[in-house]
Amino acid sequence: MPRVKRGTKRRERRKKFLKHTKGFFLTKSKLYRSAKEARERSLRYSFRDRRVRKRQFRTLWIQRVGAAARLNGLSYNQLIHGLKLVGVDIDRKILAEIAVADATGFADLAKMAQAALPARQA
């Protein structure tokens, strides 16, 4: 079997890995083996954390809506329940944006939700 000298292909493949790990700390950006391991790990983390980011944002939106609801005399679950009874279908992302950017508009939504709660319970 003839001997295979990889030629430029080996260098190209290694340079591609090192290009992806540019900016990593110490040998993780300089040495091929370390860079390869670091890149694989970074890809695993990026895959996982794209899903974690969605959870974190939903948590943030719920905290913002809850804080704005407490300023208007409601708890978070009372606000959400009242809005469902009224028929307002706004997701938590938009509710949080309204709470931050438009306090009077959020207060109006809170009043609508509060008005719907006792009427339903009575």
- Total of domains in the chain: 1
DSSP 31: S
49: tokens are: 């954390």
Q: Is 74 helix (H, G, I), strand (E, B) or coil?
A: coil
Beta-strand ranges (E) seen in the chain are: none
1 occurs within a structural domain: no
Whether the pLDDT of residue 3 is over 70: the answer is: yes
97 occurs within a structural domain: yes
Q: Is 65 helix (H, G, I), strand (E, B) or coil?
A: helix
29 occurs within a structural domain: yes
Q: How far apart are CA 22 and CA 12, in angstroms?
A: 15
103 occurs within a structural domain: yes
At 80-106, the pLDDT tens digits run 999 999 999 999 999 999 999 999 999
Q: Distance of alpha carbon 118 from its chain centroid, rounded?
A: 35
Q: How far apart are CA 114 and CA 38, in angstroms?
A: 53
Instruction: Output phi, psi for 74, to 5 deg.
Output: -130, 160
Q: How far apart are CA 120 and CA 122, in angstroms?
A: 6
**What is the full DSSP assignment across 57-88?**
HHHHHHHHHHHHHHHTT--HHHHHHHHHHHT-
65 occurs within a structural domain: yes
At 122, is the pLDDT very low, low, confident or very high (cuts 50, 70, 90)? very low
At 4, is the pLDDT very low, low, confident or very high (cuts 50, 70, 90)? confident
One-letter identity of residue 77: N
At 17-43, the pLDDT tens digits run 899 999 999 999 999 999 999 999 999
Which CATH number is 114's domain given?
Answer: 1.10.1900.20
Whether the pLDDT of residue 119 is over 80: the answer is: no
- Domain hosting residue 48, numbered range: 8-121
- Model's pTM, two decimal places? 0.75
